Amino acid sequence: MVDEDTTFQLRMDRYGPDLLNGLTAAYGDAGPQLFERLTAIMRGAFAARGTDLKVLDEARLLSPDWVQRPGTIGYVCYADRFAGSLAGVADRIDHLKSLGVSYLHLMPLLRPREGENDGGYAVADYRSVDPRLGTMDDLTALATTLRRHDIALVVDLVLNHVAREHEWAVRARAGEQKYRDYFHIFGDRTMPDAYEQSLPEIFPDFAPGNFTWDEEAQGWVWTTFNSFQWDLNWANPDVFAEFADLLLFLANNGVEVFRLDAIAFTWKVLGTDCQNEPQVHELTQALRAVLRIVAPACALKAEAIVGPQDLIAYLGQGKHFGKVSDLAYHNSLMVQLWGALASRHTRLFEVALSNFPAKPANTTWGSYARCHDDIGWAVSDSDARGAYLEGHTHRAFLSEFYAGLYPGSFARGLVFQHNPVTNDRRISGSMASLAGLEAALHAGDQGQLSDAIARINLLHTAILGFGGVPLLYMGDEIGQLNDYSYVDDPEHASDNRWVHRPRMDWDAVAAADADPGTPSGRILAGLRHTIGVRKRLPQLHASIESRVLPSPDSRVLVLTRDHPEGTLIEVYNFSEDMVELPTYVLRSRLGDAAVEQISGYDYSLSPETLRIRPYQPLWLTAD
């Protein structure tokens, strides 16, 4: 038997240097002292960690690739909109299991401020649960139940800001210097004006500017997002110590993956856009080390919606290789999927993916087509040029297309945060409404309906096939449409992202289950089937990269995943056309005979062309 002290000491030997180096790089001379403080916090949390979680720690240490396996399927939902409450989520496990889910992200569930709270991203207390959803005991009970079903619970850890009503902010306003130092509060406009010179605006529409005058605090408070979300001062070691403690508290309550919300914004440097600063990665390295020492079963996921060159650092580059987040959102994939559907052209997709830096093999993308946020058209000017497009014009086209304004558009989306200075227009809307289902049902047109369902199937298949954790977004499995009733709720009316955050329609799920011939039934049955196929394909392990093969047809994307057990080639037709695809690209890698894994059919690749149906995906392996 290895005793607990030895286990702790071995982990300290392994990860202590990562912790100390991260802290020293961020905090200089204050680093070693903070390290001592954290050692005491970690010892306490390690002693308090439950036996079943310690067993999970040991199991995960034996399977460090647990999140990378093809069997990992993610699902994202709001506990209340999905099942009423945390306890209710446990009653819906059957539905999750029917989709093969093993990773469940419940949207913000810690106690938010009253009233408007940015969908829970304005947290007033990280140690208690939103009373409308349940209690911390309910959260622990749910995590335990999920774990018994091999489902890992994923929870947001909002790092960049707290609610104005959080105790730290309350005490700052009451004049306690210790807590004023947790935030960025300025007595006059000198510094805010200086920072604003180089800061972008995140919510230009409903929260213009990055600073808010607070009468009680007698100062300008840094508020990147809404005025009620106060940015934290991570340059203060006390803030780090608080969050290390919170992280371990939540890990000991059963959270297995932490979504590090808005992590890119946590370190501010005058004269920059205050995103992706190198210190952000030092802090993540230190947080990860804390987690590996006490709770190695847990993983970190970076929510950094930034450009590819900046994004890759969140999975570890240079000296942070293998030392920061385990997962990150592949925002670019999402943008390119929608871009290719609108333009029926895959050249930009090819260019963007080809220019995308490779990630460390032990890290994992979260691949998704829709989530709770809007879609920002993150297409770089240089990628656009590589596809013979003009970046600005193409982004404007995508906004117009998905707002349903472009002639012939199948999409029904809403413009989110129009910035008149940059003319940037982000888009809200559910997967089904953006993919044409809403318009097709409205028109009562069978052809349009088939195309819309095929687009949804294409999107789901592409995220399942990319190699990462596919993140299914609540309601998309039955093609739920935009929910325009958000305007009736005063807490939501000004934020049209609520149009794609509907309540789960369980009657529709039952109907889809009962009749696989309805639109919802077709979507659900197709998705379940493809998930089953994904789970048995070793090529979809996330350690392998999806690489672009130059496509012989501009409407079709061809990806290859080269695995020691054989190559998988994925073919996606992004148009409503029947395409005769020249087979030489496929033949050169797979030979004359292939198996299409989704249908299970044998394909001969000896003919010069292969017929691909509108929006059809193919996953081909050598026979």
Residue selected from 80, 116, 118, 476 as contacting ligand GLC according to rule CB under 6 A: 118
The token pair at 161 is 């800001």
Phi, psi of 221 (to 5 degrees): -100, 135
Length of the chain: 623
CB of 366 to ligand GLC, least distance (A): 12
- 608 as an active site residue: the answer is no
Q: Between residues 119 and 475, which has the closer beta carbon with respect to ligand GLC?
A: 119
CB 457 within 8 A of CB 615: yes
195 three-state secondary structure: helix
Contacts (CB under 6 A) with ligand GLC, residues 276-305: 303
Residue selected from 66, 82, 121, 365 as contacting ligand GLC according to rule CB under 6 A: 121
CB of 230 to ligand GLC, least distance (A): 12
Residue selected from 22, 70, 119, 237 as contacting ligand GLC according to rule CB under 6 A: 119
Contacts (CB under 6 A) with ligand GLC, residues 347-366: none
Q: How many CB atoms lie within 10 A of CB 200?
A: 15
Q: Between residues 370 and 587, which has the closer beta carbon with respect to ligand GLC?
A: 370
Q: How many CB atoms lie within 10 A of CB 501?
A: 23
Q: Which of 460, 619, 387 is nearest to 99 (CA)?
A: 460
CB 348 within 8 A of CB 379: yes
CB of 108 to ligand GLC, least distance (A): 8
Cα(283)–Cα(243) distance, rounded to whole angstroms? 11
Q: Of 116-124, 137-145, 352-360, 454-462, which part binds ligand GLC (CB under 6 A)?
A: 116-124
Residue selected from 23, 25, 207, 262 as contacting ligand GLC according to rule CB under 6 A: 262
Q: Of 113-121, 166-174, 378-386, 596-604, which part binds ligand GLC (CB under 6 A)?
A: 113-121
CB 82 within 8 A of CB 90: no
CB of 413 to ligand GLC, least distance (A): 17
Catalytic residue among 256, 303, 350, 374, which? Answer: 303
230 in contact with ligand GLC (CB under 6 A): no
419 three-state secondary structure: strand
Residue selected from 57, 245, 373, 476 as contacting ligand GLC according to rule CB under 6 A: 373
Contacts (CB under 6 A) with ligand GLC, residues 146-165: 158
CB of 251 to ligand GLC, least distance (A): 21
Cα(75)–Cα(460) distance, rounded to whole angstroms? 12
> x/- contact string, 474-513, with ligand GLC (CB under 6 A)?
----------------------------------------
Burial 441-479 (b: 16+ CB within 10 A, else e): beeeeeebbbbbbbbbbbbbbbbbbbbbbbbbbbbbbbb
Place of tokens 């240089």: 382
Q: Which residue is nearest to ligand GLC (CB)?
A: 121
CB of 498 to ligand GLC, least distance (A): 11
Cα separations in angstroms, 48 against 124, 248, 251? 25, 10, 11
576 in contact with ligand GLC (CB under 6 A): no
Contacts (CB under 6 A) with ligand GLC, residues 231-260: none
Q: Between residues 345 and 501, which has the closer beta carbon with respect to ligand GLC?
A: 501
Q: Between residues 44 and 115, which has the closer beta carbon with respect to ligand GLC?
A: 115
225 in contact with ligand GLC (CB under 6 A): yes
Catalytic residue among 80, 261, 277, 326, which? Answer: 261
- 242 as an active site residue: the answer is no
Cα(202)–Cα(89) distance, rounded to whole angstroms? 32
Cα(257)–Cα(74) distance, rounded to whole angstroms? 11
> x/- contact string, 57-76, with ligand GLC (CB under 6 A)?
--------------------
- In the chain, the largest separation of any two C-alpha atoms, in whole Å, equals 78
261 in contact with ligand GLC (CB under 6 A): yes
Q: Which of 256, 207, 224 is nearest to 105 (CA)?
A: 256
Q: Of 42-50, 117-125, 441-449, 567-575, which part binds ligand GLC (CB under 6 A)?
A: 117-125
Cα separations in angstroms, 39 against 21, 292, 411? 14, 13, 53
Pairing of β 593-596 and β 257-261: unpaired
Q: Between residues 491 and 623, which has the closer beta carbon with respect to ligand GLC?
A: 491
Q: Between residues 123 and 293, which has the closer beta carbon with respect to ligand GLC?
A: 123
Q: Which of 423, 424, 395, 426 is nearest to 413 (CA)?
A: 426
Q: Of 114-122, 268-276, 472-480, 585-593, which part binds ligand GLC (CB under 6 A)?
A: 114-122
CB of 119 to ligand GLC, least distance (A): 5
Pairing of β 110-112 and β 123-129: antiparallel
Cα separations in angstroms, 97 against 88, 101, 185, 206, 361? 15, 6, 48, 39, 28
User: In the beta sheet, which residues pair with residue 75?
Assistant: 104, 472
304 three-state secondary structure: coil
CB of 26 to ligand GLC, least distance (A): 22
Helical spans, DSSP H, in 149-201: 167-173, 177-180, 190-196
CB of 501 to ligand GLC, least distance (A): 10
CB of 495 to ligand GLC, least distance (A): 9
570 in contact with ligand GLC (CB under 6 A): no
User: In the beta sheet, which residues pair with residue 193?
Assistant: none
Query: Which residue ranges make up the site for ligand GLC (CB under 6 A)?
Result: 118-119, 121, 158, 225, 261-262, 303, 372-373
- Indicate which residues carry an active-site annotation: 261, 303
